[in-house]
A and B are shown apart, each in its own frame.
Chain A
Amino acid sequence: MSRQSFSALSLILRSLSRHSSWQKQWRKAEPKAEYDAIIVGGGGHGLGAAYYLAKEHGMTNIAVLEKGWIGGGNTGRNTTIIRSNYLFNESAALYDHSVKLWEGLSQALNYNVMFSPRGVMMLAHTVHDIQVFKRHVHANRCNGVDNEWLEPQQAKEFCPPLNIENNIRYPVLGAALQRRGGTARHDAVAWGYARAADAVGVDIIENCEVIGIRRGTNGAVEALETTRGIIRSRKVGVSAAGHTSVVMRMAGVHVPLESYPLQALVSEPVKPIFPCVVMSNTIHAYISQSDKGELVIGAGTDAYTSYTQRGALHINTHTLDAICELFPNFRRLRMMRNWGGIVDVTPDRSPIIAKTEVPGLYVNCGWGTGGFKATPGSAHVFAWTIARDEPHPINAPFTIERFRDGFLIDEAAAAAVAH
């Protein structure tokens, strides 16, 4: 299937016909009776997995089922931070695999995902923070992941709006900076993967909710019952984020997940004022500026599990308290919108990308509060796992069985808070 290529030249040429000759970016596919593989969940991770299945593993008779619309879940609700400065070797390999794919993603997809490696700076406010972040810096460098320690004055030079005075409750004592980290345009990631997957033959089926998983006499996956009929497939990859527990229970598989609301908010748009991404795990502030000019602010998870896609306002105000102390310039900005997504959190805050006890059923879940950054890498190794029925070396440690066998990848303890 040929797709119109996006380039400056095609933009100019099609302007001559007043941009009336552009194709739809992907087809509205009708479900077929049978596929070689089905991905459940049309977010970035699911669409990406379908794309890599087709592109790298030659499987073109595949479908992505999405109960709502493409990128309408957590892919369109996150704060778009990309980084790979995780402590443990397994995590560093996984997240840095992703950063490397981000770096060439716009070219690979012929779609501008607006990846902007503007630097992610994580603030230290206590002696404990300093020790932990310096440990991260050293661990990262051993793993070939860039990360460097900044004194407060250097942090201020990198991010001029930052308040490094002693007049706040938790003054800035230093920072860890990953220069290769940054942001990308979240919607473009979903649309770019959808368009590229469609171009290699993947059926993207929206408004199609999975309501049952049929298994054969040998226990293997045979078909999915959906709101648009029964669709047969012997390989099913579940990439359903906050609803993974619900989908997996249809096949009788329990995953160690809890689903929590995670909120974010944006300010009114202003002129460019904020040059990087700043995170503070200790006082819960996560902030960057979008290319539209809005300050994009991440809040924490709510205390309780929920599927409502909304949370409590005091969670947002808590974050804004910290933002206003760190960046006094922003105190009079008005907040424009806030929203929530449902994130699936594992006990060790590391994902699960693995085969399951059910033959033909694969799961990619547990990304918790930080899945966006991992989208390309996660999708890439998940596709490998589905196509070859065995994990890629990078995701081999991220099994469900690690909780039984005691091989946790405990980024929860490493970060001490949601990250």
Chain B
Amino acid sequence: MLIIDCPYCGKRPEIEFSYGGQAHLARPQQPAQLDDQAWAEFLYMRTNIKGVYAERWRHARGCGRFFNALRDTTTDHFLAFYKTGEPRPTLPAQHERTT
């Protein structure tokens, strides 16, 4: 089980959290102006990175708030936790590989 460091509550076991998928996806401001391909990209296409992945978590059985994390999907090690709205943190170069 992962230990997740909620930016508001501190370290808690994974079962207190729900997963929110890829982070930093902004809903288009004018959906009606998108063509089908662009709308499908927003709805369905995820990067599914093998490497460092920016993802959302929600402390569903705690404070209830969403936040973001960087996790290496080849090891499941968390590299950073940050609040929603904050920019993605820059990591030391050895962590920035993405395939």
Decide if B73 touches A306 in the complex (CB within 8 Å).
Answer: yes
Which positions 53-82 of chain B face chain A at CB distance < 8 Å?
Answer: 53, 55, 71, 73-76
Task: Give the residues from 12 to 62 in chain B that come closer than 8 angstroms, CB to CB, to chain A.
Answer: 14-15, 17-19, 21, 36-37, 39-41, 43-48, 50, 53, 55
Contact of A256 with B1 at beta-carbon distance under 8 Å, contacts A304-B71, A308-B76 already known: no
Tell me the nearest residue of chain A to B18, going by C-beta.
A303
- What class of interface size applies to chain A in its complex with B? 20 to 34
Residue from the list B37, B47, B74 in contact with A307, Cβ < 8 A: B74
**5 tightest A-B CB contacts, nearest first:** A245-B48, A256-B44, A303-B19, A404-B40, A312-B1
- Give the Cβ gap from A301 to chain B, nearest Cβ, in Å: 10
Residue B90, interface by CB 8 Å:
no
| Residue numbers in A under 8 Å from B47 (CB-CB) | 245
- The answer to whether A319 has its CB under 8 Å from any CB of chain B is no
B43 touches A243 (CB 8 A): no
Residue B99 CB within 8 A of the other chain:
yes
The 8 Å CB contact of B43, one of A258, A314, A347, is A347
Residue of B nearest to A306 (CB): B73
In chain A, residues 229-254, which have Cβ atoms closer than 8 Å to a Cβ of chain B?
243, 245-246, 249, 254
Contact of B40 among A243, A249, A259, A403 (CB under 8 A): A403
In the bound complex, do residue A254 and residue B45 qualify as a contact, i.e. CB atoms below 8 Å apart? yes
Using a CB–CB distance below 8 Å, which chain B residues touch chain A?
1-2, 14-15, 17-19, 21, 36-37, 39-41, 43-48, 50, 53, 55, 71, 73-76, 99
Contact B19 A304 (CB under 8 A): yes
Asked whether A329 is an interface residue with its Cβ less than 8 Å from the other chain, the reply is: no
Tell me, in angstroms, the Cα distance from A406 to B40 when the chains sit together: 9
User: A314 contacts which chain B residues (CB < 8 A)?
Assistant: 1, 14-15
Q: Would A257 and B73 count as touching, CB distance under 8 A?
A: no
In angstroms, Cα B69 to Cα A89, docked, is: 41
Give the complex CA separation of A307 and B53 in angstroms. 11
CA distance A249 to B71 in the complex (A): 20
Q: Is the CB of B53 within 8 A of A305?
A: yes
- With both chains docked as a complex, state the minimum distance between the C-beta of A371 and any C-beta of chain B, in angstroms: 17
Binary flags per residue of A254-279, CB closer than 8 Å to B gives 1, else 0: 10111100000000000000000000
CB distance from B8 to the nearest CB of A (A): 19
The answer, among A259, A306, A403, for a CB contact under 8 Å with B44, is A403
Interface membership of A157, Cβ < 8 A: no
| Distance of A404 Cα from B14 Cα, bound (Å) | 34
Give the residues in chain B near A249, CB-CB below 8 Å.
99
Chain A residues within an 8 Å CB radius of B19? 303-304
Among candidates B2, B36, B44, residue contacting A347 with C-beta atoms closer than 8 Å: B44
Closest CB-CB distance, B66 to chain A, in whole Å? 14
- Name 15 A/B residue pairs within 8 A (Cβ), A-sorted: A246-B50, A249-B99, A256-B44, A257-B48, A258-B21, A303-B17, A303-B18, A304-B55, A305-B55, A305-B73, A308-B74, A308-B76, A403-B40, A404-B37, A404-B39
B49 CB, min distance to chain A CBs, angstroms:
8
A112 CB to nearest B CB, Å: 36
Would B14 and A312 count as touching, CB distance under 8 A?
Answer: yes
The distance from the CB of B79 to the nearest CB of chain A, in whole angstroms, is 14
The answer on a CB contact under 8 Å between B40 and A307 is no
